Amino acid sequence: MDSQTSPASQPSPSPQSPHTFQVDLRGLVDLLSHHLYSSPKVYLRELLQNAVDAVTARLADEPGAPARVRLHAEGGALRVEDTGVGLTEADVHSLLATIGRSSKRAEGLEEARSDFLGQFGIGLLACFVVAERIRVVSRSARTPGAPPVEWTASDDGSYTVRTLPDAERPEPGTTVHLVARAGAAEWLAPERVAALARDFGSLLPYDVRVGDEAVTDLPAPWDRPYPGPSARRVALARHCHDLFGFTPLDTIDLSVPLAGIRGVAYVLPSAVSPAQRAGHRVHLKGMLLTERAEQLLPDWAFFVRCVLDTDSLRPTASREALYEDETLAGVREALGERIRVWLTGLAAGDPERLGAFLAVHHLGVKSLARHDREMLRTMLPWLPFETTDGRISLEEFAQRHPVVHFTRTVEEYRQVAPIASAQGIGVINGGYTYDGELVQALPSVRPGTEVAELDAETVTAHLDAVDPAEELALSGFLAAARARLDPLGCDVVLRAFHPLSVPALHLDDRDARHEQARADAEARADDLWAGILGSLRGSAPRARLVLNHLNPLVRRISALPDPELIGTAAESLYGQALLMAQRPLRPADSALLNRAFIGLLEWATHSEDGRA
C-alpha cells in the first residue's frame, strides 16, 4: 500500500494530512484473520518479531547496544517498547505504508531485514486483527539527527505521519500502542498477553519482559547443564509434561549443527496410530513458529513429539508452518537418522529400555525396518511377532523352524494356527501391519532362511489321510454332508489330525474367498450382471470343511443312519468351524447356523417324545 503523498524530504514538526492505504484494509484484515492466521493470538508474535528484528538490526551496527523488549497491558490497551534500530520518517513511509513491497534488495533497514523473519509493515498491520487503532512512535539509531516520528493508523484505512519533539523519545527504539477493537479486548488482557509472550518468546535471545516478569527462559532445557544424565532425564521429562501433557518413555537429543538445529524428541508413553499426524513445536531463531509442524520427521517416527529451535528452515507466508523445500527434506532425513541411532544404541547397550519401548511402539520400528535392512537386522532379536510358538522375535522363530511359514491375513492364521501347531508346523501371523513384509524380507538379512506362505492346500497336505477302506465305508455319510454344504460353496474332506478336541476345520484361501464373493454377487445380480459375473467364474479351489476322523463326535455323526440328520449335523460343524476361525459370517452362514440349531432342537425333542 503506497501513500497518496510522497514522503517529505525533510521532517515536518506538524501533523500531515491523513493518508489512506492503497488497498482495502478491511478486506486485508479479513484475509489475515480468516485465511492466513489460525488465531488472533499471532498478533503478539508479530509484535515480538518486529521488536526482536529491530534489536538484531541495531546490534549488527552497535554490538554494545541495549537489547530489551518490554510489554505493558492495561485497560484494553497494549504497549510494546524495544531498544531496536528505530525508524525515520522515510522508513515509516517505506515500511509501514507500503503493503506488498517485499523486496529484500533495498538499502537501509529493508536490507538488514534479509536475515530476519519479520516484515515490519505486514506484521504490524496484522495487529488490526485485534486492534482498532495502532500508534507507532520511533526514533532511528542509524540517523542520530533525525527526530522521533509518529505513525497512527485506524482500521478504516487511514493513517497519519508526523514528526515529534526530541523529548517525546530521547533514545533510539520503537514503541507500538494498540487499542483493542470491539469484542477483542480479551486478547489484550494482561494475563493473556503474558501467557502468549511466554509461549511465543521463551527462547528469544534478548531480555523480554511483560511488566516486571521475564518471558525468556534461557538456555533452552536441552542445552542446560545438569549434575548428571539422571537429573537431565528428570528435568526434560518435566519439560515434556509441561509442554505436551505426558511423561515420556525416553528422550532423544536432536542436534544437527549444519542445519542450526537443537532440540529434543520425546517418546510417547502409549501407542498411537501410524495414521495420526504428530504435531511438533518448532522455534525459528527463538520465536515459536508452530505447535503443529507435521512434516518435520519421517512418517515412521510417529511415536515421538519434538520441540526444537532452528535458524535454517523457511516459514510459510503465515509463519505458522514450514515451507516444504530441499532444506526441510534434508533436515527430516537428518532427524530420522538421530532416532535410528538412538534405537541402535538401545539395542546394543540397554535392552531393558528397548524392551519397554518396543512393548508400546513396535509398529513404528517395524515401519522403519521395512525400508531399512540394517535396522531390521538390528531389531531381529527384539521385534515381537504373533506365532504358533507364542509372541516371539523373528530371530528366535527362525532358529526353531527350518522353514518359516506365514499367513498373509489374520483370518488365515486363525484357521490354521491350532492345527499347524499340533502338526509341528511353525506359523507366523503376517496379517498385521508390516508383519508380512518383514517376514518375506527375512532372507535378505538372515541368509539361508527359507520363508514360505502357508495356505489351505499346504495345511491339508500335512494332515493324515484316512485309511481308504474306512473312507469308502463312510462314503454315504460324506455324500450327505457334501450335498448339504455344496450350495455354500464348500467341499467336505475327511482327515485325521490333532488335537482330537477339534471336530472340524474350515479352510479356504484368498482365491477361494474371491470366487465365493463373485458367486454371491452373481446370485444377487439381475440377468445382465449375472451373465457378466458368470463369465468371470474362476477355477480356484473352493473352501473346504475338513472333518477330523479322530474326533469322537465326528465318529458318532458318521454312524447316523438318517441323511437329513447327517446334513443338519454337517451344517452345525460348518458353523462351529467358522466361529472358531473368527470369520465374519455371511447372511447365508447366519441362516445356516439358525437352521441347524433349530433342526438339532427338533431332533432332540422328537427323540425325547419317542422315548416317552
Residue 402, pLDDT above cutoff 70: yes
Enter the DSSP assignment of 418: H
Residue 49, pLDDT above cutoff 50: yes
Residue 582, pLDDT above cutoff 80: no
What's the confidence (pLDDT) of residue 106?
36
Instruction: Name the 3-class secondary structure at 31.
Output: helix
Question: Alpha carbon 45 to chain centroid distance?
Answer: 26
What's the confidence (pLDDT) of residue 520?
53
SS3 content of the chain, % helix, strand, coil (to 5): 45, 20, 35
Residue 16, pLDDT above cutoff 70: no
pLDDT tens digits along 461-477: 778 888 889 888 899 99
What's the confidence (pLDDT) of residue 26?
56
More confident residue, 448 or 123: 448
* Cβ-contact 260, 310 below 8 angstroms: yes
Instruction: Count other Cβ atoms within 10 Å, centred on residue 130.
Output: 24
Question: 198-212, 415-429, 577-591: which has the minimum mean pLDDT?
Answer: 577-591
Question: Alpha carbon 303 to chain centroid distance?
Answer: 8
Q: How would DSSP label each residue in 510-574?
A: HHHHHHHHHHHHHHHS-HHHHHHHHHT---PPPEEEEEETTSHHHHHHHT-S-HHHHHHHHHHHH
Residue 102, pLDDT above cutoff 50: no
* Cβ-contact 150, 133 below 8 angstroms: no
What's the confidence (pLDDT) of residue 300?
87
What's the confidence (pLDDT) of residue 601?
84
What's the confidence (pLDDT) of residue 110?
37
pLDDT tens digits along 257-282: 888 899 999 999 998 877 777 789 99
Residue 526, pLDDT above cutoff 90: no
* Cβ-contact 177, 146 below 8 angstroms: no
More confident residue, 28 or 51: 51
One-letter amino acid for residue 231 of the chain = A
Question: 79-88, 90-99, 448-457, 497-506: which has the minimum mean pLDDT?
Answer: 90-99
Residue position matching grid coordinates 503376517: 430
143 vs 440: CA distance, rounded Å = 72
pLDDT tens digits along 20-30: 554 445 555 55
What's the confidence (pLDDT) of residue 282?
93
In the structure grid, which three cell numbers stand for residue 213, read together?
516478569
Residue 554, pLDDT above cutoff 80: yes
High-pLDDT (> 90) share of the chain, % = 41
198 vs 409: CA distance, rounded Å = 51
High-pLDDT (> 70) share of the chain, % = 81
Residue position matching grid coordinates 542450526: 260
What's the confidence (pLDDT) of residue 395?
92
Residue position matching grid coordinates 449375472: 530
Q: Buried b / exposed e across 398-417, counting CB within 10 Å, b at 16+? A: beebeebbbbbbebbbbbbb
pLDDT tens digits along 124-179: 777 888 888 889 999 999 988 899 999 888 877 777 889 999 888 889 999 999 99
Residue position matching grid coordinates 505436551: 244
What's the pTM?
0.70
Residue 523, pLDDT above cutoff 80: no
More confident residue, 419 or 511: 419
Question: What pLDDT band is residue 104 in, cutting at 50, 70 and 90?
Answer: very low
What's the confidence (pLDDT) of residue 14?
47
More confident residue, 421 or 253: 253
484 vs 349: CA distance, rounded Å = 62
